[in-house]
Amino acid sequence: MCSFHSIRFHSRGLPAQSEIAPGSSIVPVTAIEAPTELIHNGKWPHVRFSVDAVWAAAAGCQLWKRICDIDPRRYVALMEQLVRIKAQKIDMKTDLPLAIVISGTTVSLGVVRALGKQGVPVVVVHYEDSDIACFSRYVISSEKVPDPEHFEERFLEALIKYIRDYGAQIVFPVSDQAVLAVSRNRDLLAKHCKVACTDWPTARIFIDKKNTYQLAEENAVPAPKTLVPNSIEDVKGFCVGAEFPCLVKPSQSHLFDKQFGCKMVPVSNADDLISTYLRSSKLGLDILIQEIIPGHDSCVVNYNAFFIDGAPIVEATAVHFRNGPPLWGSPRVAVSQHVADVIRPGRQILEAVGYNGFACTEFKFDSRDRLYKLMEVNVRHNMSTSLSVRSGVNFPWLEYNFVLQGDMPKQPKMEEGIFWIDIIRDIGHSLRNGRSEDMTMAVFIKPYTAKHIFAIWDLLDPRPFLKRLAMLVFGGFRKVSSGH
């Protein structure tokens, strides 16, 4: 089991602004990450950092024990002060149209950086206090709006107001809640700007997994054996002769996750299954009962693709390296890798609906029949967006150009072997689940010693990470390591 004491971060000093020539690469300044380039085209100033701020970010990730040993009030005050540090904003002297990114999670941060590093002025419209993307240096402004899940009409009114106020020409909904509200009201919003998401008839198929698995069956896309119970009698009938353990999965993941704190629940016997069903039913949540596909987290593969009129235009694949929590969670470490066997089924499920836009389709390899089985389709940009960008495939940027200008994307070459790491979640889950994962120190540090990019930490854009550290102190690893 790994220990924080085994993870060392070393400060190597920070080059002065005068020492960095326009267009040059930045030498690595910490062992946390070696940025490959600094966005600098002669008109954008470099960000100046406090050495103390960089040290605090590194130290905060390095030694959770030290955090616990000091007075929490002092640490919270320090983090709040650091989060308020205004890293010098990029001078967005650009003619590129302004984009609004809806929601402020880790997913949103990846989209914000993917667009901002290309010079796109970005406004974040968010609705949760825990949002971090609004702290990015690539965000020119942020606005709080009502939660679209509970106050859709008020959310739309606020969104339209900010579209007008900022002169936004495109919106990117990047959470399930935002996709539901935006796609459902796409025609209304299209009167004010372009909308970077698929239409409602398509979105409802993939957001509700009952529809997804039915579509898969109709189009011969391999998927796990799945039962959709309509009553407690259906559940009890399933339990007779059922093979346990099995999974209880939600029809709509974002609703389930808020109540259960996870994407799915493994159940080991009939009593657990009935109890979980009754709890879900009481909360008004539809569920699926599904067989467990055996295999490690590395059996899970993402097929990321941009489609136009049902045809794949740009594709990239990535393999989960470690999930949080293990087996049942979202990726905390992933790696860019070409997996040819998911291309065909990935295309097949999206072609069946004439898909338009970006989608992340998740498969898991089943060693019993050596097939990749469909797990879910996300009709929004995924958590590891920055992995595709770092690997050479900037999906938000190509979608931005196609939706606004009609520029037909071309398939770029994807660099394989790049790791994406959500460092706080990775360390937290490794400490909590290291023994059950049977993970050696060599396996743990492998992503950190290879080429990699961090989900949140970025030396050139530190404030989102500092905000996450402050949240860590307030809520502890349990809340933060759930990841969004």
The answer to whether residue 280 is domain-embedded is yes
> Distance (Å, rounded) from C-alpha 226 to C-alpha 214?
10
Q: Please determine, for residue 36, whether its predicted confidence score (pLDDT) is greater than 80.
A: no
pLDDT at 7 over 50: no
Contact call for residues 110 and 389 (beta carbons, < 8 A): yes
pLDDT > 90? residue 311: yes
Q: What pLDDT, on a 0 to 100 scale, did the predictor assign at position 59?
A: 43
Place of tokens 């399930």: 176
**Domain harbouring 147, CATH code:** 3.40.50.720
Distance of CA 12 to the CA centre of its chain: 30
Instruction: Out of 290, 320, 339, pick the residue that ends a domain.
Output: 290
- 456 or 32, greater pLDDT: 456
Task: Write down which residue in 290, 316, 333 finishes a domain.
Answer: 290
The span from the CA of 229 to the CA of 237, in Å, is 10
What's the domain count of the chain?
Answer: 2
Structure token pair of residue 279: 């709890």
DSSP state of 377: E
Same domain, 259 and 175: no
d(CA 133, CA 102): 10
The pLDDT value given to residue 249? 86
Q: Does residue 386 surpass a pLDDT of 60?
A: yes
Whole-number average pLDDT of the chain: 83
Tokens representing 226 are 């799945």
**CATH code for position 272:** 3.30.1490
Q: Are residues 117 and 182 in the same domain?
A: yes
Q: Could you tell me if residue 13 is inside a domain?
A: no
Lowest mean pLDDT among 87-101, 220-234, 302-316, 337-351: 87-101
Rounded to an integer, the average pLDDT of 395-403 is 98
Beta-bridge partner residues of 266: 247
Measured at the CA of 458, the angle between CA 57 and CA 19, to 5 degrees, comes to 95
The answer to whether 457 and 57 are in contact (CB under 8 A) is yes
Domain membership of residue 143 as a residue range: 99-197
Regarding whether 191 and 109 lie in a shared domain, the answer is yes
Residues 189 and 242 in one domain: no
- Is 104:75 a contact under the CB 8 Å cutoff? no
Predicted confidence (pLDDT) at residue 18 exceeds the cutoff of 70? no
User: Is residue 123, in this structure, part of any structural domain at all?
Assistant: yes
Residue 256 has what pLDDT? 67
> Mean of the pLDDT values across residues 315-327?
95
Mean pLDDT confidence for 154-177: 97
Pairing of strands 265-267, 139-144: unpaired
Report the candidate in 338, 445, 443, 449 with the shortest Cα–Cα distance to residue 388: 338
Q: Is 254 found in the same domain as 193? A: no
Query: Read out DSSP for 316-368?
Result: EEEEEEEEESTTTSEEEEEEE---GGGHHHHHHHHHTTT--EEEEEEEEEETT
Q: Of the ranges 52-56, 93-97, 447-451, which is most confident? A: 447-451
Tell me the β-bridge partners of 302. Answer: 318, 362
| Residue after which a domain boundary falls, among 290, 311, 340 | 290
105 vs 433, more confident: 105
- Looking at the domain assignment, is residue 393 inside a domain? no
Residue 395 domain flag: no
Strand intervals (E) in 75-173: 99-102, 122-126, 139-144, 170-173
Confidence of residue 242 (pLDDT cuts 50, 70, 90): confident
Q: For 394, phi and psi rounded to 5 degrees?
A: -90, 85
Model confidence over 199-219: pLDDT tens digits?
999 999 999 999 999 999 999
Average pLDDT over residues 420-435: 90
Residues 174, 134 within the same domain? yes
Length reported for the chain: 484
| β-pairing verdict for 357-366 and 371-378 | antiparallel
Does a structural domain hold residue 261?
Answer: yes
Across 42-47, average pLDDT: 33
pLDDT at 237 over 50: yes
- For residue 172, is pLDDT > 60? yes
Q: Is residue 380 part of a domain?
A: no
In a domain, 217, yes or no: no
Classify the phi-psi angles of 146: left when phi > 0, otherwise alpha if psi is within -120 to 50, otherwise beta. Answer: beta
